Structure 1
Amino acid sequence: QHSVGQALGAAAGPDWTPPAYETWRLAERTLANPGSPGGEAWRLTLEPIGALPAWAAGDIAEIGPPGDPAPAAREYSVASIPADGRVELLVRLMRRPDGTPGLASGWLAHDLAPGGEVPMRLRANRAFHGPAAATPMILIGNGTGLAGLRAHLKARAADPAQGGAWLLFGERTAAHDSFYDAELQAWRASGVLARLDRCFSRDAGDGRYVQALVAEAADDIRAWVDRGAAIYVCGSLEGMSQAVHAALEDALGADRLADLLETGRYRRDVY
């Protein structure tokens, strides 16, 4: 709406106001998947210039990339919790058809200097907030969607009353795309993760996508749901989310899955 108004030379309407960004700085940037056959994925750490705001696992970082006129904000799942004292993101470098980097991801991944300022605000995403700590969670995702699921795992790790979690995750190669591997293994050892299932679509002898993990574990998913588990899906809208939804329908039945959606026990943050 705002972009159309700009193109027509109209003033911003009363129902739209530009985001009120706070100023953050880039504290750290690390390539998370060197050697991957997929696009670059970067781990970014951002620290506030002022006071640390509050947010919850599942919330969204809105970042204003540079440009005149100001481009639309880009949204990224927050991979950290306030107890970390910083916002962590996992950003995929997007490429235009001609191979040049995307405006926002190219700036964040390549052009922004360490210590450089980032206009950002944290937006509540209540539709992806976690359930009560005692509720078991089935977390399903692919690619950089692991960021949003990681925040939920961090929140669970900090709560002794947590009811256990199960992560099903898909990426390209185990050697290059096992994001947050040491952390996930530590959570598996400590019991924060009751179960960890991963697949890698480009690896010889595997070749599966995350929806295949869901199909293979249908009996166990039904058992978890029977004892009250909530299902959270984060990652690609195209392909992954539809395929996972279909696999969950096969595992649970369309009516039961619809009931979980209606009662807030099946939540998705897909893009």
Structure 2
Amino acid sequence: MQSTDVQKGPGAYSRTNPFPAKVLKNVNLNGTGSKKETRHLELSLQGSDLSYLPGYALGIVPQNDPELVAALLEELKLDGDTIVTVGKEGDSLTLKDALTNHFEITLLSKKILQQAVEYSENEALRNLLLAENANQLKEYTNGRDLLDMLRDFGPWKASAQEIVSLLRKMTPRLYSIASSIAAHPDEVHLTIGAVRYTTHGRERKGVCSVQVAERIQEGDTLPVFVQINKHFHLPEAQEKDIIMVGPGTGIAPFRSFIEERAVTKATGRSWLFFGDQHAATDFLYQDELEGYQQDGVLTKIDAAFSRDSEQKVYVQHKMLENSQELFEWLEQGAYFYVCGDKTNMAKDVHNALLQIIEQEGKLSAEEAEAYLSELQKQGRYQRDVY
């Protein structure tokens, strides 16, 4: 929710003026022995005048890892207390504060390297920037960060001000909201998977997800704002059926959908497809979901756990196993939702859906595509993928 309005105060909290939300709860949803860490975060919106609908996202303005900031300062041989000016307003702050709170330091772009070359006499950097090495340059920037660049192409003769002038402003991280405000007045909940991986000989950490997992305690505050999502929402008619596909943290908006429908006593049926690695450690919100099923709020749950069997089973396999019933729901006017990984899961789910429509509707591939396009036009096929 971006506001062009710059006045401060309640009602004016926005991307440019985030609200300091107090952390009420921060717990790991995964069981002991899981390869994953998924945080359930509950934040207070009391006094903010912020509100949201199921399907909206929450923006968090994160802070960079203090260890990474310290490593940058050491590599640059610069004092963190050096004063620099940032932004259009020309605000004065310390270099350490600028690197912690104002700039992206975990991403590298062609532009940064092109500008940085002025401050180094390193031949390898000059070569990398030659037109004929465009592919190598692209490969180099992929998965590397500012610290890699500083270590690979030094020595550097840049001032603190020159270093910050290379960097892009920190962008807020958006997360699908995992709660209904009707169920939790003055609160907003999130489901955040901690991103950690090793590449190019260093451990990498997601800026916001690992801040939440490692450094944010209950009682702390996080700067937040609400981001409207007009393309992902519950049907207006309470009697409509909904089919939700949300493996891993993709469960988040569907927790908000289910909570909302429990409060509004919607009469439509609901069917959740959830997936993760192991049933014993990775079935996020299992007790809640099973409670909703017992209460009749959630009609069906089909869960796929990919590492519990020799053949990996994913949400799309569960859809195909239930193809006849799933198609019947669609024919009866059900809305179909997908949330989660855009690269693989959303494509696989899309293809499984086409296969079900083709097979159960006895349609050609072209007719199945047209059927799905029609669902999209009617707002009955909605995706929140990232």
TM-score by length of 1: 0.89
Superposed displacement of residue 155, structure 1: 0.9
Give the Cα–Cα distance (whole angstroms) in 2 for the partners of residues 222 and 141 of structure 1.
Answer: 18
Superposed displacement of residue 261, structure 1: 0.9
Give the Cα–Cα distance (whole angstroms) in 2 for the partners of residues 18 and 193 of structure 1.
Answer: 34
Q: Confirm whether residue 65 of structure 1 aligns to residue 170 of structure 2.
A: no
Q: Confirm whether residue 107 of structure 1 aligns to residue 211 of structure 2.
A: yes
Q: 2:262 aligns with which of 142, 157, 160?
A: 157
Kindly indicate whether the alpha-carbon contact (under 8 Å) linking 2:31 and 2:280 is maintained by their aligned counterparts in 1: no
Larger Rg: 1 or 2? 2
Superposed displacement of residue 258, structure 1: 1.3
Give the Cα–Cα distance (whole angstroms) in 1 for the partners of residues 177 and 271 of structure 2.
Answer: 20
**What is the match of residue 226 of structure 2?**
122
Superposed displacement of residue 244, structure 1: 0.2
Unpaired runs of at least 5, structure 2: 1-13, 64-100, 104-168, 358-367
Q: Structure 1 or 2: larger helix share?
A: 2
Q: Confirm whether residue 226 of structure 1 aligns to residue 367 of structure 2.
A: no
**What is the match of residue 247 of structure 1?**
352
Secondary structure of the residue aligned to 1:176 is helix
Q: 2:178 aligns with which of 48, 66, 79?
A: 79
Give the Cα–Cα distance (whole angstroms) in 2 for the partners of residues 39 and 199 of structure 1.
Answer: 16
TM-score by length of 2: 0.63
Unpaired runs of at least 5, structure 1: 1-16
Superposed displacement of residue 206, structure 1: 6.5
Give the Cα–Cα distance (whole angstroms) in 2 for the partners of residues 133 and 206 of structure 1.
Answer: 38
**What is the match of residue 270 of structure 1?**
385
Q: Structure 1 or 2: larger strand share?
A: 1
Q: Confirm whether residue 22 of structure 1 aligns to residue 22 of structure 2.
A: no
Kindly indicate whether the alpha-carbon contact (under 8 Å) linking 2:15 and 2:59 is maintained by their aligned counterparts in 1: no
Q: CA offsets per residue over residues 84-130 of structure 1, 9 Å max, x none?
A: 02111110111253223211111111112321111101111110011
**What is the match of residue 90 of structure 1?**
191
Give the Cα–Cα distance (whole angstroms) in 2 for the partners of residues 94 and 269 of structure 1.
Answer: 19
Change (3 A) 1:34 1:161: closer
Kindly indicate whether the alpha-carbon contact (under 8 Å) linking 2:293 and 2:300 is maintained by their aligned counterparts in 1: yes
Give the Cα–Cα distance (whole angstroms) in 2 for the partners of residues 113 and 80 of structure 1.
Answer: 20
Identity, % of aligned positions = 32
Q: 1:135 aligns with which of 240, 243, 246?
A: 240
Letter in 2 for 1:65: P
Q: CA offsets per residue over residues 197-256 of structure 1, 9 Å max, x none?
A: 101000036730001011111111110011110001111112100000000001112221
Secondary structure of the residue aligned to 1:135 is coil
Give the Cα–Cα distance (whole angstroms) in 1 for the partners of residues 295 and 229 of structure 2.
Answer: 29
Q: CA offsets per residue over residues 5-25 of structure 1, 9 Å max, x none?
A: xxxxxxxxxxxx953311101
Pairs aligned (count): 255
Change (3 A) 1:206 1:190: farther
> How much is the aligned-residue C-alpha RMSD, in angstroms?
1.6
